[in-house]
Amino acid sequence: MDIAKYKVSKGKGFSLKEYSTFPTSQCKKKERVQFLESNRLEIQNLQSKLYAESKAGLLIIFQAMDGAGKDGAIKYVMSGVNPQGVRVHSFKVPNSTELAHDYLWRVQPCLPERGIIAIFNRSYYEDVLVVKVHELYKNLNILDRCKDSDTITKRYGHICNFEQYLYDNGIQLLKIFLNLSYEEQGNRFLRRLDRPDKNWKFSEGDIKERGYWNDYQVAYEKAITATATEIAPWYIVPADNKPYARMIVSEIVKKSLEALNPEYPRVSDEHAKRLMGYRDKI
Ligand code: AMP
Ligand code: MG
């Protein structure tokens, strides 16, 4: 599968409208199942090496509008990997302690140490998305110079610097935007209302945010334009078809792990000889 067409590693000139919310090609269910299973095994194998080697961490950020399938994509892609080596963190509306700190503060303890895959279900990008759309920074109890009209633009700069800092510390970044259409979001919200097993997922706030759809599209486009880099690329994944979105996500994760080229640590010849010596003692 070619994932290059979803990758944005230079933000300049990026236009969200040029990316379809629906996959251009599709395949039969049997092929899909085989594809996902084969990728799942490969991800499992690579993660095992990443963990053993502990030279690099992988941070996978998922951002999307409500109903785009973040939870499902995380569940499918990471099913079967060793839970010891994977951490998932969901970022919600900040509490008062979090709001009293700089906006990257709450992210720090969730960053992956080398050897670990961390998955962010939403992230510090909310601080240039929902915070931009509703100008929430204006409500902060903070110096006036820290909540002027340049606040969001400055944050793009902080984020680029922060991601470079992470990269320089052995953390590979992967940012996935599940690109959903307004129509399909409507269908999924209706299903949340219709199906008792999905009722719990529905929140009144989701409808309110749906009313700001266009503002969010602008905020996403600006954020991606400002923060897509070679070292921390964005992937714009068509999300209107859930099974296909999961295939693409699993391929992106697999390819990113492959690029890190993890290997099981090899012991020195001398150490190997010593190990052989232990055979007689067992
Ligand atoms: P969910 O992921 O559907 O459980 O919803 C989490 C909610 O928290 C979303 O509406 C996000 O926009 C919101 N959220 C996450 N981070 C922030 C933030 N930094 N400021 C304000 N709202 C946020
Ligand atoms: Mg939600």
pTM of the model: 0.96
Q: Is the pLDDT of residue 78 over 90?
A: no
Nearest to 43 by CA among 107, 110, 119: 119
pLDDT digits (tens, 9 = 90+) for 244-257: 999 999 999 999 99
pLDDT digits (tens, 9 = 90+) for 136-192: 999 999 999 999 999 999 999 999 999 999 999 999 999 999 999 999 999 999 999
Probe residue for ligand 1, chosen from 71, 90, 92, 189 as the CB with the greatest number of ligand atoms within 8 Å: 92
Question: Cα(201) to centroid of ligand 2, in Å?
Answer: 7
Bridge partners, 179 (sequence order) = 238
Q: What is the pLDDT of residue 144?
A: 97
End-to-end CA distance of the chain: 49
What's the one-letter identity of residue 50?
A: L
Give yes or no for a contact between 159 and 229, defined as CB atoms under 8 angstroms apart: no
Give the atom of ligand 1 at the shortest distance from the alpha carbon of 66: 3
Backbone angles phi, psi at 125, to 5 degrees: -65, -25
Q: Which two tokens stand for residue 46?
A: 């690579």
Determine what percent of the chain is predicted with pLDDT higher than 90: 90
User: Which amino acid residue places its CA nearest to atom 23 of ligand 1?
Assistant: 93
For residue 96, the tally of other CB atoms under 10 A from its CB is 7
Q: What is the pLDDT of residue 79?
A: 87
Q: Is the pLDDT of residue 25 over 90?
A: no
Q: What is the pLDDT of residue 123?
A: 98
Helix axes 29-53, 242-260, angle to 10 degrees: 30
Give yes or no for a contact between 56 and 231, defined as CB atoms under 8 angstroms apart: no
Give yes or no for a contact between 84 and 52, defined as CB atoms under 8 angstroms apart: no
- Any ligand 1 atom below 6 A from CB of 131: yes
Q: Is the pLDDT of residue 21 over 90?
A: yes
Q: What is the pLDDT of residue 220?
A: 98
- Any ligand 1 atom below 6 A from CB of 231: no
Ligand closest to CA 219: 1
- Any ligand 1 atom below 6 A from CB of 70: no
Calculate the average pLDDT of the chain.
96
User: Which amino acid residue places its CA nearest to atom 12 of ligand 1?
Assistant: 130
Kindly indicate the confidence band of residue 222, based on its pLDDT and cuts at 50, 70 and 90. very high
Q: What is the pLDDT of residue 80?
A: 81
